[in-house]
A and B are shown apart, each in its own frame.
Chain A
Amino acid sequence: MTTQGDYMIKRDGPYSASFLWEAPGTWDLSTPEELTDEQKELAKLARSFLTNEVEPVREKIESKEDPKLVPNLLKKAGELGLLMAEVPEAYGGLGLNKTTATVIAENATGWTSFIVPLMCHTGIGTIPILYYGTEAQKQKYLPKLATGEFLGAYALTEAGSGSDALAAKTKAVLSPDKKFYILNGEKQFITNGGFADVFTVFAKVDGEQFTAFIIDRGTPGLSIGKEEKKMGIHGSSTVPLILQDCKVPVENVLGEIGKGHRIAFNVLNVGRWKLGAACMGSCKRLLEYCSKYLKERHQFGKPIGSFQALREKLANDAIRTYLLESVIYSYAAALDSAWATLDKSGPDYYKNVVKKIKGLNIEASIAKVFGSEVLAYLSDDAVQMYGGYGFIQEYPPEQFFRDNRINRIYEGTNEINRLLIPDTLMRRAVKGSIDFMGELQKVLAGLKAGYSKADAKEPMAVWQDQLAAFKRLAIYFSGVCAQKYMEKLKEKQALVITMADLVIESYAMHCGFERALKIRKLKGEAAAQLAEEMVICYMSEKIPEMLIRVRQALFNVADGNEKEFSSYTKALERLIQPQFADTEKIKEKVAAHILEKERYAL
């Protein structure tokens, strides 16, 4: 099933965009249909906490009139154990897996920006110490972070260094007695900064070696600036952090001196999946609100949910939510199965944990980009479906719409994440840790010899072929761009972004497809029908759209050379012939289903 050259690393699961050449179902990843009873209980707990404790005080959270409210709610979440899921048992947590953490994240998300401080604490606020801390650091901080006694924050960004994080100016100098690092500089846009007890702060030792430090609130020389006035997520604290001769004990260096970039980027990878999971939760809440509203609101003597213009929106929203849910749970399952192979008691356990995360960083970037953009699509639709009321703050869509805007910016802008996808793919191809070149050769050879097809008896055989063809298109296009521009490809960002979009769409379709097949296997044909049709519907619309984009991009690549362009168009003809499904019928069915259930449900 997997192509393994001599130089290939042995794999035990999906790795670095291997979905581009692996058929859905190659790895038996668990799906949301296979959640355990405990996971369902945890979902209920997170949801009741949200609806009983958080949403009733939504306006107070948003106005920040009581600065203690959010930290107190976080502590309450801590009492219920909602902050300890991912912390290992040895440090007072429960050591639950990513799938379980996903369940909590999506269910703790609702009509409030409270999810931002919650995710910040359990993600970038806790993870750096968990993955990179020394035993003493872990013992000191993790048990308190797990219960919410300590609240965490993460300080990477500076005024002059956002996406270019390594250009940070904050400087650390060892004190003459070698007991402290003296930090000077200013960090910016620090989520949870207003109340956090523990900060992971990045600074350059002697202005050169990028390094992470754990800094406690109250450390001399550390002060917290004024709350920013933001477009959205008003309930979250966002402040600058000022370091003026801040004396940080040397034992608070996190990880190795000069290796802070590893922490910064790997922690972001985890944060990216988490952001996607929260976006998925928001999508589900919006489908609940919108389906009810479409039934209640009457115009022209009928509920507006009877008008096809709005039913189509609702169906588009549900289809995208299905794909996003499939992506997020697939990522979590891949990480869980990879982690399950590791020796927990081994000395290199966390090193290996991080290695596995790195192996799925393309997928993490996709979770972030796809998640924030699907939610952008849904929250825009929601405002539209609510009409004038969608623009009014008393109704949910207004806040969802505003709050989501930052999701496309923080944890690495969607542009940075897109650029990372082909960049990682190409770097690993050159290094030989994935056999991208071999796969490209196969695609090129197939241009003459043709491609094998799925057995016609297989479920959705035509669409299996279509998905495989679309992935080959992604490989082909990436190959053409890489071979034409070589190391200059990085400067062709418009092309790189098209490459990334092909990979992102491939993954979304792949995960949705894989899950539909799994549902059929678990619950039978009838139960899988809706999921199958949703994937088909999405493919039927998305693939031709992407094909036009690729054609245009290749025209640009040909740079006026007609012969070259015609060789590309010939290749495209052979690579893929778009298939069409009756999307109108499918969407009618999906909309009717969602309206009946009044929520997202398969």
Chain B
Amino acid sequence: MKIGVLLKQAPDTETKIKIKQDASGIDESDIKWVINTYDEYAVEEALRLKDAAGGGEVVIVTAGSKRAVDSMRQALAMGADRGIRIDTEGVVLDSYTTAVILSKAVQSENFEIIFAGKQAVDDDCVQVAQMVATALDWPAIWPAEHIELGADKKSVQVTRPVAGGVKEIMEMQLPGVLCCDKGDHEPRYASLPGIMKAKSKPIAELKAADLLSGETPKVKWSGFGLPPERKSGKVLKGEPEEVCAELVKLLREEAKVI
């Protein structure tokens, strides 16, 4: 089975985000870059599906700068077979244009299924995978929690959570796109032999500019800022009656919530 995984490199979730001094963007100097958390689940599910299908190929597709290769290598060390990187150096991309270049890159691969994380933990746009599906005219399921390959190997059965703790079970004919949530399977480690093997696995390189074919971003960034720092709380002291009256007054006049 030929399986694609859309993988994004994102800051470690523990990173303290800093804004550049001129507020033109995010200061990336101290960021620890990792595989986007949900994409790691996608890699794990892809590898499992390959096993369930009795073989095939898992291809990591990434739009990113040179440093993204580290994260791709990690996915290769987990067991993926090869990679395609679309070099984004010098190109400003939004969700739409990212989807454009990714869908162009995967078109010639004839994947039977594409996995992605349900969202990226950096910008939390939750758009790219669905837009890729749209561009390919494939169905997509968001979020996919539990995935099983159909007996005919041409469909998957997917469990997805819906409101109220209810699970919805869907069947999707392939090809299609699955946007993975944290499911039953912890992503496997890139083992030491895996890391050594990943060294020699190929990563093809494409240029974002070549794939855009005139498309431009739909979103413009007008500024960057951190959320205002939370003020420290207030402790009211006194007799319960007085405190209560003071509290109501503050809620009305200062917090303006009642």
Contacts and interface: CB of A to CB of B under 8 A. Distances in A.
Contacts of A318: none
B191 A79 contact: yes
Contact of B195 (A42, A48, A49, A79): A42
B196 to A, nearest CB: 6
B66 to A, nearest CB: 12
B132 to A, nearest CB: 28
B189 A38 contact: no
Interface stretch (A80-88, A387-395, A430-438, A561-569): A80-88
A41 to B, nearest CB: 5
Nearest to B192: A81
Given A80-B191, A597-B30, A38 B196 contact: yes
A42 B191 CA distance: 8
Interface stretch (B20-28, B69-77, B151-159): B69-77
A80 B192 contact: yes
A82 B70 contact: no
B199 A38 contact: yes
In this complex, the interface size class of chain A, counting residues with CB under 8 Å from chain B, is: 10 to 19
Given A94-B196, A597-B30, A41 B189 contact: no
B193 interface: yes
Contacts of B189: 45, 48-49, 80
Interface string A329-341: 0000000000000
A41 B189 CA distance: 11
A492 B246 CA distance: 79
Contacts of A42: 192, 195
B195 A45 contact: yes
Interface in B189-212: 189-196, 198-199
Contacts of B193: 81, 84, 94
Given A38-B195, A597-B30, A45 B70 contact: no
Contact of B70 (A37, A49, A85, A597): A37
A41 B191 contact: no
A45 B187 CA distance: 13
Contacts of A597: 30
Contacts of B194: 81
Contact of A82 (B73, B74, B192, B198): B192
A94 B192 CA distance: 9
Interface string A18-40: 00000000000000000001101
Nearest to A82: B192
A45 B192 contact: yes
Interface in A515-548: none
Interface in A26-71: 37-38, 40-42, 44-45, 48-49
Interface in A553-602: 597
Nearest to A80: B191
A60 to B, nearest CB: 19
B195 A41 contact: yes
Contacts of B190: 41, 44-45
Contacts of B77: 41
Interface string B111-144: 0000000000000000000000000000000000
B233 to A, nearest CB: 15
A84 B193 CA distance: 9
Contacts of A81: 191-195
A49 B194 CA distance: 15
B252 to A, nearest CB: 31
Interface centre among B77, B190, B192, B199 (most CB of A within 10 A): B192
A597 B189 CA distance: 27
Nearest to B16: A598
A80 B190 CA distance: 8
A42 B199 CA distance: 12
Interface centre among B30, B70, B193, B196 (most CB of A within 10 A): B196
A84 B192 contact: yes
A94 B190 CA distance: 15
Nearest to B196: A94
A1 to B, nearest CB: 35
Nearest to A92: B193
A81 B74 CA distance: 15
Contact of B73 (A37, A84, A85): A37
A206 B218 CA distance: 87
Interface in B50-76: 70, 73-74
Given A38-B195, A45-B190, A84-B193, 17 more contacts: A38-B196, A40-B70, A41-B70, A41-B73, A41-B190, A41-B198, A44-B190, A45-B189, A45-B191, A45-B192, A49-B189, A80-B189, A80-B191, A81-B191, A84-B192, A94-B192, A94-B193
18 contacts: A37-B70, A38-B195, A40-B70, A41-B70, A41-B73, A41-B77, A42-B195, A44-B74, A45-B190, A45-B191, A48-B189, A49-B189, A80-B192, A81-B194, A81-B195, A84-B193, A94-B192, A597-B30
Sort A-B residue pairs by CB-CB distance and give the 10 closest, nearest first.
A81-B192, A41-B195, A81-B191, A80-B191, A81-B193, A80-B189, A38-B195, A42-B195, A94-B196, A45-B190
Interface of B: 30, 70, 73-74, 77, 189-196, 198-199
